[in-house]
Chain A
Amino acid sequence: MIRSISKLLVLCAFIVSMATAAAALVEVKIDQGNVDPLVLAIENFSGNNGKEAGLGQNVAAIVINDLRNSGLFAPLNQNIFLETSRPANQKPNFANWRPTGAKALVTGRIVMQSNGNIAAELRLWDVLSEQQIVGLQYSAQPRNWRKLAHQISDTIYERLTGEKGYFDSRIAYISETGPKDRRVKRLAVMDQDGFNNKFLTAGNDIVLSPRFSPKRQEVTYISYASGQPRVMLINVDTGQRELVGNFPGMSFAPRFSPDGNKVVMSLQNGANANLYLMDLRNKNMQQLTKGSALDTSASFSPDGRAIVFESDRDGKQLLYIMNTDGSNVRRVSFGGGSYSTPVWSPRGDLIAFTKLVGGQFLIGVMKVDGSGERILAGGYHNEGPTWSPNGRVLMFFRETRGANGGPSIWSVDITGRNERQLKINGFASDPAWSPLGQ
């Protein structure tokens, strides 16, 4: 069984797991800051004709890229493979795979189905025990072939780590072009690996801070189209938009409740910004915070019972948690500097934030009681973390300095390892990760 890796991963994330401590044939050692990625071999998926084989090669390339980018796997270069093909339904000759150092082997087959769909057959093998540990078939419409490949990546990731994957997911973000003082901002969505980019707004108005619905193909964001910034809702498939409440002043910093039925947001009233909760079904508004502070950047706990937010009520930006009805407010950030943009982990155990200290903008996490603060990414300006659906990875944006500077989207593991830039044309900011499969 390739199971002990999951235990280690889970320890790392402060989660108590049900992982069984079975005898380990394959093992990845994950400590804080020291991980040996699991070496595995991923064959091109085979096919009975050039079209199937070509698709099989592309699918394998996506799986290799996904798993490598996670930082937990080291897919081998295919050039060193000793075995490149075998008759259908024949087991791999593991004597050819053990010398490569691969602990796991991925093989597969693509079949074009009579209804026009594509089918992919995945087999995951434990090289040392010579056993098949996954055998699954997927099918999808041809245009969803990348999604199918990401689902295969998720299966492999889950089987080898014991945790859900995050590859079949999307990122809503703000695409930025043009000079810094006249930036054109467009709402866009893309797959988590940067492909299938789609613009949702034309760039005529400033748009900011998109957040994915946990349940539907919807994004809430703010737009200056009416002059004042206002909270909007857009269906990412149809592009249909609607205003979320026609308030006299500014409404901003929206975020969905875990059931997708409500949006928490800031409403500006003169010098004050307070948090409100709108029920999208009946448009009822409930005021959650009162007073003369700037309360903003609210984010729900995954169980929907609490909200973390930032406020300057104690003289600088700090993090607070309250019940969803606005009661029982308590401060949770106590370190030096100031804290902003809190986001509750989908596992419920951590809060990610932007920390301003010593002239730098850092990305960090803390436990929900404020203890155990760890900084994961630093530099001149990092801002706005968003969680991967499995709570193991954060994306955020990083601004470079100066008149020609601009933002780009980066990711980092919650251990602080594996920092990498997402390849996107032009500048990009305000990433927001979708749930898995959305």
Chain B
Amino acid sequence: MRLNLAKYLMIAGMALGLAACATKGELGQDAAGVVGNGINAQPGTLAEFQQVIGDSVLFETNQTEVNESGKALLRKQYAWLVQYNVTAIQIEGHADERGTRQYNIALGARRAASIKKYMTSIGFTGTIGTLSYGKERPISLCDNISCWSQNRRAVTSVVSK
């Protein structure tokens, strides 16, 4: 049921995106232009959370502590979650491919736990679930540091409002 809600939100986001798209055609550069780079990023949508706020905190190699830019991002996430009355989130921890499989699962979990701890410390009172995919779900696929740094991440997703 948690997934269903998330799915619903995503579909709602897509529908809004489509609507915006259709509107944009009619109104030219007018109102739709205000959205700027995000026809998919209507306020309050998952798309906005992912693309405008940013859902991923990055980590240094083998590190699990949230750095200052990560904390800044989490504060933005927190403000958005509060604004839209989000009561449950899930944090997915990930590791880069330069580690062994089991350890990376534990490492990703520790990253997710770090995010949970910080979100709680700045006042998020909703439910925070954590999960780790280790190195099993990279988003950046090259074999150098520019990609590995993108893959060492913890992703916040909205579970329910």
Contact = CB atoms under 8 A, between A and B. Distances in A.
Interface of A: 179-181, 183, 185, 206, 208-209, 224, 227-229, 249-250, 252-253, 266, 268, 270-273, 294, 296-297, 310, 312, 316-317, 340-341, 354, 356, 359, 361, 380-381, 383-384, 399, 401-403, 405, 430
Interface of B: 62, 64, 97-103, 105-107, 109-110, 113-114, 116-117, 130-133, 136-139, 141-143
Nearest to B147: A403
Contact of A297 (B98, B100, B130): B100
17 contacts: A181-B139, A181-B141, A208-B101, A228-B131, A250-B105, A266-B102, A268-B109, A270-B113, A271-B64, A271-B109, A294-B110, A296-B105, A361-B100, A383-B100, A399-B97, A402-B141, A403-B143
A401 B143 contact: yes
A186 B132 CA distance: 19
Contact of B105 (A181, A252, A316): A252
Contacts, number: 97
A294 B103 contact: yes
Contacts of B98: 356, 359, 361, 381
Nearest to B132: A250
Contact of A296 (B62, B106, B114): B106
Contacts of A294: 103, 106-107, 110
B103 A180 contact: no
B102 to A, nearest CB: 4
A185 B143 CA distance: 21
A384 B143 contact: no
Given A296-B105, A341-B100, 20 more contacts: A181-B141, A206-B136, A208-B136, A229-B132, A249-B109, A250-B132, A252-B106, A271-B114, A272-B110, A294-B103, A294-B107, A294-B110, A296-B103, A317-B103, A359-B98, A383-B101, A401-B143, A402-B143, A403-B141, A405-B143
B106 A266 contact: yes
B97 A252 contact: no
Given A250-B105, A340-B103, A405-B143, A181 B97 contact: no
B63 to A, nearest CB: 12
B100 A229 contact: no
B102 A296 contact: yes
Nearest to B107: A294
Determine which residue in B114, B137, B143 has the highest number of CB atoms from chain A within 10 A of its CB, and name it: B143
B155 to A, nearest CB: 13
Contacts of B102: 209, 252-253, 266, 296-297, 310, 340-341
A252 B142 CA distance: 27
Given A250-B132, A271-B113, A229 B105 contact: yes
Given A228-B131, A250-B109, A271-B110, A209 B141 contact: no
